[in-house]
Chain A
Amino acid sequence: MVSITVEGLTKIFPPRVVALDNVTLEIRDNEFLVVLGPSGSGKTTFLRIIAGLEKPTRGRVVIGDRVVADSENNVFIPPQKRNIGMVFQNWALYPNMKVFDNIAFPLEIKKVPRDEIRRRVKAVAEVLGIDELLDRYPRQLSGGQQQRVALARALVKEPDVLLLDEPFSNLDARIRLTAREFVKKLQKRLGITTILVTHDQADAFAVGDRIAVLNQGKIEQVGTPEELYDKPANTFIADFIGEPPINLVEFRVENGYIEDLGVELPGEAAGLDKVIVGVRPDEAVAAWEHLAASSVASVKAVVDTVVYIGSRLYLTVDVAGKKLRVQGLTGHTYKEGAEVIVSVKKMHIFHPKTRSRIVTLEA
């Protein structure tokens, strides 16, 4: 039973880089939590503080039933005594040791008997499919193999917590897919409380039970992948998550209706004079006629450009002078300058100043 609690965590690098700003978060036992954020948002710093490689400026970290860092009571347990497994961004294998010795190193420190070391290294290497590589040096391995060795080294000591810093970013696209699947399955099988940090939303969606979105050292939202996608807390989350990116367009509000779209706003939103409307390209379709069955809005638009993203057809259309990216129906031919009707299935309404979500309108 190992949960992790982080309370009011702040990290300031002198003189004034605020890497983490009052982060509070709970990671449940056996949970796979992903911290997702753009580069420089403080992800690595967060992991390093949990590992004990960095001291928090303020705040508390509790792992299991042990307070490992507490700035107020001057508690700090060094990394050696935290029983944590960590995979570094570029794997940080010991270049002077063979794979076997790399994996055995944590056990050697614990003074585990030789026979048992051999047995446990073999066992974990088998699980990770690297038992053929034990006699090689790290430089003789491919990226994917090095990553598995790093995972094996992190797992062999049966840590309370597993920390992964951008573990997929140095893998090429093909291996990345299998690696994600592999890590996800392994985590579920071993049931180790795990934190993975990444800047790649696809990583986050592939492995995370829950995702915490970090932006400039602050947690913007914590939730399951579905929650983040369907109920983004603010425009940052809405924009950061989803591919292709959401359309965020400001519209004026008149008499409780969104101008140009003719959509009635409920409650609080109706009183504003402007709102930011968020529409995902995948939740709006351009067609020749009104697709009445499922839409909150349906407006006339003019086709601007046509592009394929992957196998899907997307159009940029012009709605009352504002550009929106929407989905096209495959099999149709869209001509630039042609008039279409855009049917919107789902629409997020954000406050123009605070930029937080007020309401989501859905058909």
Chain B
Amino acid sequence: MPRLSTVTASIIIALFGLVWFMPVYALIVGSLKSLKEVMGTPVLSPPESIDTSTLAKVFWELRGPLLNTSIIVIPTAFVSALIGSLAAYAIYRRGGKISDAIMLLIAISTYIPYHVILVPLVQFTKTLGLYDTLPGVMFGFLIYYTPMAALLMYIFITAIPRDVIEAALVDGAGEWRILRRVVLPLLGPGITSTIIFILIMTWNNFFIPLILTRGYEKHITLKIFSYVGQSGTLYNQMFAAALIGSIPPLIVFIFLGRYFIKGLLVLGTGAKG
């Protein structure tokens, strides 16, 4: 009965979608209400009249942090994907026990909780004179997310048929040429996925900007947080800030999501993407 199962699947997907959309809906209606209404009506009730002034006001306040976050996050994603690819290729090509050990270390490092590296990271950033600067936050992100990029890229590289690389060796190519002419072109979907993933992870990250900067201006998540408990929480402004802050990753995912999914599919089909 394919029809029945399609219907069931559709219902399940719709239910999940509904549950996940609920908070977004709350954000949207909340940010369109006046402060009085937001305090006085249930979270999910639609606004009596649409009031965009809060959104406009908050957007103006967020413009600095939005720009700062973009300046941090975009290069971070590209650089960590690049370094990650190089590391992954080198580890893959070397092979053997040492490579296995390094991969294990990398995998472990992506699971290290933030508070474990808190003190050394702050100290190190201060020593470098990067504390409370945009490059400092970038540096923190790179330390935290480059291993993850390497891990992801390693998985994508192992999906490339081994004999394609070996064919290049027999054809006389050195490692750099193989990387440039064979591996990187085949890693396109994988690199895109990794960049998207890190863009979103770093955009949403709160802890690293929190420990590496002062004030609320250098990362969007800090700025959103600043709306909490400021002389009594301004709920409509908080909703508006959260909504605006979540739009960029949403846009990235909507426009580049198919590349992300393509990248994941490559893993299943052996780099045909």
Contact = CB atoms under 8 A, between A and B. Distances in A.
Please classify the interface of chain B as helix (H, G, I), strand (E, B), loop, or mixed, using the class held by over half of its residues: helix
Interface string A96-108: 1100000001100
Given A53-B166, A80-B172, 14 more contacts: A79-B166, A79-B170, A85-B170, A88-B167, A89-B163, A93-B164, A94-B164, A94-B168, A94-B181, A95-B186, A96-B185, A97-B181, A106-B171, A139-B272
Please classify the interface of chain A as helix (H, G, I), strand (E, B), loop, or mixed, using the class held by over half of its residues: loop
B93 interface: no
A110 B168 CA distance: 13
A157 interface: yes
B174 interface: yes
Contact of B167 (A92, A96, A110): A92
Interface in B155-175: 161, 163-164, 166-174
19 contacts: A52-B169, A79-B170, A80-B172, A80-B173, A80-B174, A81-B172, A86-B167, A88-B163, A88-B167, A92-B161, A93-B167, A94-B164, A94-B182, A95-B186, A95-B271, A96-B185, A96-B186, A109-B172, A157-B172
A74 to B, nearest CB: 18
Nearest 6 A-B pairs (CB), nearest first? A96-B185, A92-B163, A92-B167, A106-B171, A109-B172, A79-B169
Contacts of A96: 182, 185-186
Contact-residue bracket for chain B: 10 to 19
Contacts of B170: 51-53, 79-80, 82, 84-86
A82 B172 CA distance: 8
Contacts of B214: none
B1 to A, nearest CB: 36
Contacts of A106: 171-172
Contacts of B168: 94, 105
B177 interface: yes
A97 B271 CA distance: 14
A292 to B, nearest CB: 58
Interface in B164-211: 164, 166-174, 177, 181-182, 185-186
Contacts of B272: 95, 139
Which among B170, B181, B185, B272 has the greatest number of chain A C-beta atoms within 10 A? B170
Interface of A: 51-53, 78-82, 84-86, 88-90, 92-97, 105-106, 109-110, 139, 153, 157
Interface of B: 161, 163-164, 166-174, 177, 181-182, 185-186, 271-272
A88 B168 CA distance: 11
A94 B173 CA distance: 13
B181 A105 contact: yes
A109 B164 CA distance: 16
Contacts of B271: 95
A196 to B, nearest CB: 16
Nearest to B185: A96
Contacts of B167: 86, 88, 92-94, 153
Given A79-B170, A80-B172, A86-B170, A95 B164 contact: yes
Nearest to B174: A80
Contacts of A90: 161, 163
B273 to A, nearest CB: 10
A105 B169 CA distance: 11
A105 B170 CA distance: 11
A93 B172 CA distance: 15
A109 B177 CA distance: 9
Contacts of B164: 92-95
A170 to B, nearest CB: 13
A84 B167 CA distance: 11
Nearest to A90: B163
A139 B166 CA distance: 19
A46 to B, nearest CB: 15
Contact of A88 (B166, B172, B177, B186): B166
A299 to B, nearest CB: 53
B85 to A, nearest CB: 15
A86 B165 CA distance: 13
A88 B182 CA distance: 16
A106 B166 CA distance: 13
A179 B182 CA distance: 28
Nearest to A54: B166
A157 B173 CA distance: 13
A80 to B, nearest CB: 5
Contacts of B186: 95-96
B185 A80 contact: no
